[in-house]
Amino acid sequence: MRAFLQTAAVLVCSTSVALAQQRTVQGVVTDTKGEAIPGATILVKGTTTGVTAGADGKFQLGLPDGASTLVVSSVGSKTQEVAIGSKTDFRITMDADAQSLNDVVVVGYGTARKSDLTGSVASVSNAQLTQVATADPVQALQGRVAGVDITANSGQPGAGTRIRVRGVGTINNSDPLYVVDGVQTGDINFLLPTDIESTEILKDASATAIYGSRGANGVVIITTKHGKAGKTQFNLFGYTGFQEIRRQLPLTNAQQYATLVSEAYTNDGVVVPADLTPLLNSALTGGATGTDYQKLVLQKGLITNYSLSASGGTEQNRYLISGNYFQQNGIIQQSGYRKYVVRLNDDATLTKFLKAGVSATFTNSNQTGGLDANGNTGYSTVLQNAIQANPISSPYNADGSYAYNNITSFTPNLARYLTEQQYNKTGNTTLFTSSYLDVALFKNLSFRSTFGINYNNFHPKVYLPQYYLGPNDRRTQSTLIETRNENISWVWSNYFNYNKTFADNSNLSFTLGQEAQRGYGSGISVTGYDVPLDASLQYISSARAANSTIRSSQYDGSLLSYFGRANYNFRDRYLVTGTLRFDQTSRFLGSNRTGVFPSVGAAWNISNENFLKDVAAVSQVKLRASWGRVGNQNAAPNYGYASTAVNNQNYVFGADQSRAPGLAIATLSNPALKWETAETGNIGVDAAFLDNKLTFTADYFQRTTKDMIALLPVPDYLGQAPASANVGTLRNRGLELALSYRNEIGKLGYNVGVNFTKINNVITDLGGANPIASGNTQIGFTTRTDVGREIAYFYGLQALGVFHTQDEAASYVSAGGTRIQPTAKAGDVKYQDTNGDGKIDATDNTYLGSATPSFTYGASLNLSYSNFDFKILLYGVQGVEALNAAAINLDKSSAIANIWTNFYADRMERWTPSNPNSNQPRMTSAATTNDALSSRFVENASYLRARNMELGYSLPRTVIDKFKINGFRVFASVDNVFTVTKYRGLDPEISSSGYYGNPLAYGVDYGNYPQPRTYRLGFNVQF
Amino acid sequence: MKTYSTARMLAFAALLGLAPGCKSFLDKDPLGTVTQVNLFNDATNAVQAVNAVYEVAGWDQGPKFGVGDFVTVHFEWMFGDILSDDAEKGSSPTDFGAVSEIKNWSVPTTNLIVASLWTHSFTGIARANTVINNIDAGSIDAALKSRLKGEALFLRAYFYFNLVKTFGGMPLFEQAVLPTEAGNVKRSTIAETYAFIEKDLKAAAALLPEKGAYASSDLGRATKGAANGYLARVIMYQLGTDNTNNHTWQEVYDLTNTVITSAQYSLYPNYAAIHQDIGENSSESVFEIQFAASNDSYGPISTGTANNVFQNNRATFGYGFNNPTQSLYNEFEANDPRREVTFIKNGDVVLGVANTVDPGFNATGYLSRKVAIGAPPAPQSASQNVRKLRYADILLMKAEAAAQLGRNSEAMALVNQVRARARVSTRPPGTTVGSTAYAPANVPAGTLPDITGLSGAALLNAIWHERRVEFGEESLRYWDLVRTGRYFSVLPADVAARARTHSITTGVVNPIPLLPIELQDTQTWGIAQNPGY
């Protein structure tokens, strides 16, 4: 795309002088290995005459009078000048240049040379995006860019990814804006990583303020692959492999489990309940290992991806067609994902001053096993249930039928529950199109109109068969929930770009435009009952019950905007950028409707000053500073200002007891709702040394989110769900560093990159509101969001180990001499009396850590030797805690809610009279405070993960020439090779998907579907 | 240059093209929903807004506020029966420990049953407040307006009464609470809470029609009789617990008398049919919560209940909770037909089906027959209405007031009305296999003789005995024991000791045991907790 834009610039300007040609030269552009570089730009120095090399690297160029030198440039290569002389056939070899500051990057409503930017912008190339096996283009960015934190929602195939640019910006929606080929969208899941040419991440306000109300959480600009002029080039890419779980939790077997449960009763002199006795006894006497429920539900899952594209065309008309297939079976049985993507695009030069293009992406995906019983997505409970199920139960009776489990009867029989997951499917179809028209108005002024329209159809379907195993594990009536959601959004942008370069290398450019956006949609969900199990009858039309339930949802929102940007570059040294955007939204009323979002940025290219110009070791040094204000309209719900009535509040009246529908104002209203805004200041430096071999970028920023909109939790006695309100202020301060170095030692080429991000997140104001409690678990809320701390920190009692002896318990006294834990016995958990009031209660709750990391880092190493290449990508998160909510059950001292679920195997090391030095509480059947929410369940969740290791081999030129192909590479790759962590849960990479994306349940782990380890073999062939 | 001009014109036209449509482009009304602003400008919507308040009274489980997180089940029997000597928890010993916690008075503040009662009651209050505070400004018919407001006032009192007797003095909300006020809300005293309830019930009684004035399709709505009946109950409960408001038995006497003389009610002839389908909204019904079978098994959309499913036999379709005790069994006089209507024993034929009582899922050997109805389509979708206030209660409340006022013969006559009806009761339906008929009880002569010649404590004891057997397993026993000062004496010593640590004992007529307020609202929102929690 960058090359395309360079070419475009060349072509626009070249038309007026095209008639002055005298003679024609030709040639081929290759890299140092002799492989063709397609798309390189060849320009006659001092003129605007030039061409683009074809896919085979070949070019032909008519030379104007006086032509003496060719300037050859290409993305990733150092620009070089070649004397023409009398030669007519050129073989031009380009040196690689991975981090050139002269690269053209895509910014909002235009492009810019990287050296001209005053804002903080990071780029990720296609090769980096396709290194890890995923269908998710966002996940592919993990570990690549400083300041961009990416966490998979879960290992559930197709579950999506959580991306945070420069920390969590709000207690509400912190998702960035995506811009795909100039069209704004909230989601890029319709793409596959292989479809993407390049990704730019705009981080500070100088870069994002042009997107105004949608820019507060950063902007991710995606440029998809487009056709290049030349002979038709085919590219076939594929891999296949399998995935497995990183680790199973070490849990008790049947005998260990029975030992612990029996001991709980005997410790208190209580008779074991009659229904438990025979089961426990048989496990104890038999020494049984029982059922390994994790093994029961896990599998090795196949993963496959194939992609074929054809691209080519003439300078007047370039095209690309591609088809893509991705399939993943998941590491839990009955979970899987398939994705089909077809892309088509065409760029045409219509007249001397008119250019146009269209592109369309059609995506169909199908996910299995990702819904809960109400049809909500991304919430698979199979593994959660598997780690809680008690091992003394067997999922099968002697005759092979499903068994009923009396002890943990609220955990469904997993063998049966698994088979039901196959009826749990989510289909998703998207058609994303964009088109543009470019008009060259005057020499320096152009006009561009872009129209993008996006259609999405989302259709989850859950079938819940009828069954009966026992009173607490049964479904009296089969149920089918079918949902169809249809969403349409369009964006129409119209803007002028003016660009004038002066003789002294100064440059003035401005952009002025207008934009309208609208998103609307509706959904219908039908629930039918008593639907037969037969697969061909699992449709609403075969429901045999008289009544069905129908729900609908609908929304319509729009945004009208005006924006402008001015850049002035004084002699390539001093750069100033100013942007201003006005947005009007339908989400707010009256005077709150309009938002004004300004930004200014300045930069100094020190390396272009005379005193540095001739220092050979210094290639580039640039200082940047910016300030701006951006909005986050996505924090506000569509009709957040109005109090709407919820229907279907059904009661019954009358002699015939007929249904009496009700309407309730179930949610509070807030007509004064207004924009949430973020003010960002940024200072940064970009530097390159040693002929661009060493590059360095550092940024320091402060982002303050004001009038933060949140669904402020309210007390239950309010009786209504909370309204959206502008309640608080949150500040993120951070430091981002990125360093890369590349060089060659003989045949060995290497490239090392590291990045580091440290963000300090603090709530500075909650508008006087009470602290917000969230992250509800079986023992209450786990997180608290309060002034002076980071968002959603863990809040509970501080455990101080256990009382090793009765004396120790008795001597734990307050200043006044009374026992602080008067009922505690030897083996009970000792808690800190934080407020010193001589007793332990909720007022002793204290800060226990949070899921906000101290810092995150990424590192990559690329090696090439002869035809071999090797890559490794590391990602790490340090200084982070997780609330291991699964461990609340697995580490329990007594039955929680009277249910004896399974235990961690190391509970065998509990306190007993014969093991008094243990720091694990005793077993008990009495009510104690041992399992209160405390630091026992908050764990260090720092980790270092090898995201990928890959070894590749490319066939040498001599061999591929023989087969008349342009390139052939094979590779072997392993994802999530290893993870270094002390965290005892399934995976330290925890998102909040278990809480339906609640940002205040950040780091609460209920037993998330973990990231799998993936082994695969693949190939890439061009012909 | 001509083409350039054209292009320029086109571009500017594109820019300007949207400008005139700006306002309508941005004005979006909420789609597919009614707002608070226009809710009371349409009679159907206004009625539905009131229906949504009743709906909360019918929630034994459901999401918070009707839109949020799941909260667990709560049923009146978990307090009225389980806390008393009339019932054991039932089911298997380990099943639903939260009920055991209540039974044993060792209730943690995380107990989900009390949290559910708390949350749902306040949801009902908020919905009632939506009606009470907005209906006057609506443009609907004045007569309908006053009836609907009366219904909402009655229901607000109903929810507050459930709260005050379980948790003590409450924060009192006349208006919707603003989020900005949350956290600064204080609990009123028990007396203030009762005064608030009485004010609502009196206003409701003035606004509501008598039962007979409703159309048959509105059967089940709150009536003048229900408001007066509840007011009598509220005053009678204060007389035995916290009587700071200085009520007298004369008030109970007068209020029950008003209900009786309204001539809207009579005892249903056959005691055995009161809790059957045929007895729903019968002549005896003063107020009952309405349910109908539903395919939707969960949430506000459902019209059914799990109430009787929880209490039914594990061997049929139930969960086997709330088992009546031997003590209650023994309370019945010889041959009282009401005993068989109240109890299922092992081997009994119920609705034509022989029942086995599995001791693994039963604590006493008995189950309640008053909740035995046919199996519902789904566990949470049974159709049986829950009787909240029966005419027999009006008669026995008046009897107790008369006895307290020394009108002994009048009191005995009222009790004897109830006994006379019991005497002629049939056996419960379906006592032979395959039949659902009401077999005659063949009560020997001399069964349930009229009471005569009693006064003072003996008369009160006779009335209290009559209440226990007449309302067996109808969730009234615990409240009766508390208000008559007999509660702690019927509990095992250790349970009584724990219950006392959670009781208000000063400034009261009899100690008032209180359950804990849910953890969240005390921990995060500063609501004062009850004693001992």
Nearby residues of A471 by Cβ (< 8 Å), 6 or more positions away = A409, B314, B318, B319, B320
What is the percent of chain A with per-residue pLDDT over 90, rounded to a whole number? 37
* Contact (CB<8Å) A639/B28: yes
| C-beta separation of A51 from A11 below 8 A | no
Query: Cα separation of A834 and A103, whole Å?
Result: 57
* Contact (CB<8Å) B216/A654: yes
> pLDDT tens for residues B107-164?
988 898 999 999 999 999 999 999 999 999 999 999 999 999 999 999 999 999 999 9
B 403-462: CB under 8 A from A? none
pLDDT number for residue A781: 83
Place of tokens 């609340």: A888
Q: How far is CA A415 from CA A294, A333, A386, A474, in A?
A: 11, 10, 10, 14
Query: Cα separation of A928 and A824, whole Å?
Result: 8
In B, minimum Cα distance to A714 occurs at B179
> pLDDT tens for residues A604-635?
999 888 888 788 888 889 999 999 998 887 77
pLDDT number for residue A752: 93
B9 chain-A contacts, CB cut-off 8 A: none
| Sign of the dihedral defined by the CA atoms of residues A404, A408, A410, A411, in that order | negative
User: In this model, does residue B280 exceed pLDDT 70?
Assistant: yes
Mean pLDDT of all residues in B9-32: 62
A277: helix, strand or coil: helix
Ramachandran area for residue B391 (φ above 0: left; ψ -120 to 50: alpha; else beta): alpha
pLDDT number for residue A611: 85
- Encode burial over A327-366: b for 16+ CB neighbours within 10 A, e otherwise: bbbbbbbbbbbbbbbebbbbbebeeebebbbebebbbbbb
- Helix, strand, coil distribution of chain A in percent, nearest 5: 15, 50, 40
| C-beta separation of A109 from A102 below 8 A | no
pLDDT number for residue A14: 36
> pLDDT tens for residues A873-915?
899 999 999 999 889 889 999 887 677 889 999 999 999 999 9
- Residue B462: which H helix or E strand, with range? helix B456-470
pLDDT number for residue A98: 45
DSSP state of B502: T
Compute the nearest-CA separation of A262 from chain B (Å).
Answer: 14
Q: In what order do the strands lie in the sheet with A21-31?
A: A58-64, A21-31, A89-94
pLDDT number for residue B366: 97
Q: Give how far the C-alpha of residue B335 lies from the chain's centroid of Cα atoms, to the nearest Å.
A: 31
Compute the nearest-CA separation of A261 from chain B (Å).
Answer: 13
Query: Cα separation of A619 and A79, whole Å?
Result: 13
Place of tokens 């949140």: A710
- Which has more confidence, A260 or A643? A260
Which of B14, B66, B100 lies at the smallest CB-CB distance from A664?
A: B66
pLDDT number for residue A133: 65
A666 chain-B contacts, CB cut-off 8 A: 65-67
- Which has more confidence, A336 or A21? A336
Nearby residues of A466 by Cβ (< 8 Å), 6 or more positions away = A475, A476, A477, A478, A530, A533
Query: Cα separation of A868 and A365, whole Å?
Result: 35
| C-beta separation of A783 from A881 below 8 A | no
A578: helix, strand or coil: strand
Which of A406, A447, A899 lies at the smallest CB-CB distance from B7?
A: A447
B 506-525: CB under 8 A from A? 518-525
Which of B25, B93, B378 lies at the smallest CB-CB distance from A560?
A: B25
Which of B49, B101, B182 lies at the smallest CB-CB distance from A718?
A: B182
Res. B196 pLDDT band, cuts 50 70 90 = very high
Q: Which of A7-21, A205-219, A688-702, B204-218 has the lowest mean pLDDT?
A: A7-21
Nearby residues of A154 by Cβ (< 8 Å), 6 or more positions away = A378, A380, A991, A993, A994, A1008, A1009, A1010
Res. B4 pLDDT band, cuts 50 70 90 = low
∠ CA A96-A100-A106, rounded to 5°: 120
| C-beta separation of A633 from A583 below 8 A | yes
Res. A7 pLDDT band, cuts 50 70 90 = very low
Which of A406, A558, A651 lies at the smallest CB-CB distance from B26?
A: A558
A354 chain-B contacts, CB cut-off 8 A: 7
Q: How far is CA A82 from CA A21, A42, A953, in A?
A: 19, 10, 32
Which of B297, B525, B527, B529 best probes binding to A when mutated, by most A CB atoms within 10 angstroms? Answer: B525
Compute the nearest-CA separation of A15 from chain B (Å).
Answer: 16
Which of A473, A548, A588, A718 best probes binding to B when mutated, by most B CB atoms within 10 angstroms? Answer: A718
Query: Cα separation of A942 and A32, whole Å?
Result: 42
In A, minimum Cα distance to B295 occurs at A547
pLDDT number for residue A9: 38
Interface check B527 vs A, CB under 8 A: yes
Query: Cα separation of B78 and B103, whole Å?
Result: 8
B100 chain-A contacts, CB cut-off 8 A: 898
Tell me the β-bridge partners of B321.
B90
A667 chain-B contacts, CB cut-off 8 A: 65, 67
Query: Cα separation of A158 and A339, whole Å?
Result: 9
DSSP state of A644: B
B 127-156: CB under 8 A from A? 127, 129-130
A276 chain-B contacts, CB cut-off 8 A: 94
- Which has more confidence, B309 or A95? B309
Mean pLDDT of all residues in A380-394: 86
Closest Cα to residue A801, out of A934, A915, A905, A928? A934
Closest Cα to residue A993, out of A486, A487, A376, A464? A376
Query: Cα separation of A194 and A73, whole Å?
Result: 25
DSSP state of A153: S
Which of A514, A549, A556 lies at the smallest CB-CB distance from B31?
A: A556
Res. B6 pLDDT band, cuts 50 70 90 = low
What is the percent of chain B with per-residue pLDDT over 70, rounded to a whole number? 95
pLDDT number for residue A4: 39
* Contact (CB<8Å) A715/B185: yes
| C-beta separation of B377 from B295 below 8 A | yes
Res. A704 pLDDT band, cuts 50 70 90 = very high
Interface check B300 vs A, CB under 8 A: yes
pLDDT number for residue B20: 42
| Highest-scoring range by mean pLDDT, A346-355, A546-555, B213-222 | B213-222
Res. A15 pLDDT band, cuts 50 70 90 = very low
Closest Cα to residue A461, out of A415, A422, A417? A422
Which of A409, A449, A546 lies at the smallest CB-CB distance from B14?
A: A449
Compute the nearest-CA separation of A505 from chain B (Å).
Answer: 28
* Contact (CB<8Å) A771/B524: yes
pLDDT number for residue B18: 47
Compute the nearest-CA separation of A354 from chain B (Å).
Answer: 9
Mean pLDDT of all residues in A276-291: 84
DSSP A320-355: EEEEEEEEE--SBTT-EEEEEEEEEEEEEE-SSSEE
> pLDDT tens for residues A959-996?
877 887 878 889 998 988 999 999 999 989 887 655 66
Interface check B264 vs A, CB under 8 A: no
User: In this model, does residue A954 exceed pLDDT 60?
Assistant: yes
Query: Cα separation of A965 and A943, whole Å?
Result: 43
A712 chain-B contacts, CB cut-off 8 A: 179
pLDDT number for residue B397: 98
pLDDT number for residue A33: 66
Q: Which of A45-49, A738-742, B273-277 has the lowest mean pLDDT?
A: A45-49
pLDDT number for residue A3: 41
User: In this model, does residue A448 exceed pLDDT 90?
Assistant: yes
A790: helix, strand or coil: coil
* Contact (CB<8Å) A716/B379: no
* Contact (CB<8Å) B15/A494: yes
Res. A469 pLDDT band, cuts 50 70 90 = confident
A659 chain-B contacts, CB cut-off 8 A: 292, 294, 303
Exposed / middle / buried, residue A565 (Cβ in 10 Å: 0-12, 13-18, 19+):
buried
What are the E-state strand segments in B53-193? 62-63, 70-71, 87-90
pLDDT number for residue A21: 45
Closest Cα to residue A215, out of A557, A731, A732, A678? A678
Which of A527, A586, A664 lies at the smallest CB-CB distance from B127?
A: A664
User: In this model, does residue A552 exceed pLDDT 60?
Assistant: yes
- Which has more confidence, A324 or A46? A324
Closest Cα to residue B106, out of B498, B464, B505? B498
- Residue B17: which H helix or E strand, with range? helix B2-17
A271: helix, strand or coil: coil
Compute the nearest-CA separation of A779 from chain B (Å).
Answer: 7
DSSP A794-844: EEEB-EEEE-SSHHHHHT-B-TTS-BSSTT--TTSEEE--TT-SSS-SGGG
Q: How far is CA B319 from CA A470, A1007, B100, B314, B381, in A?
A: 10, 30, 15, 5, 14
Which of B179, B296, B522 lies at the smallest CB-CB distance from A723?
A: B179
What is the percent of chain A with per-residue pLDDT over 70, rounded to a whole number? 92
User: In this model, does residue A140 exceed pLDDT 80?
Assistant: no
pLDDT number for residue B8: 53
| C-beta separation of A53 from A38 below 8 A | yes
Mean pLDDT of all residues in A470-475: 78
> pLDDT tens for residues A189-242?
888 888 888 888 888 888 888 888 888 888 888 888 888 777 888 989 899 999
∠ CA A166-A201-A113, rounded to 5°: 130
| Tokens linked to B273 | 């049919």
pLDDT number for residue A767: 73
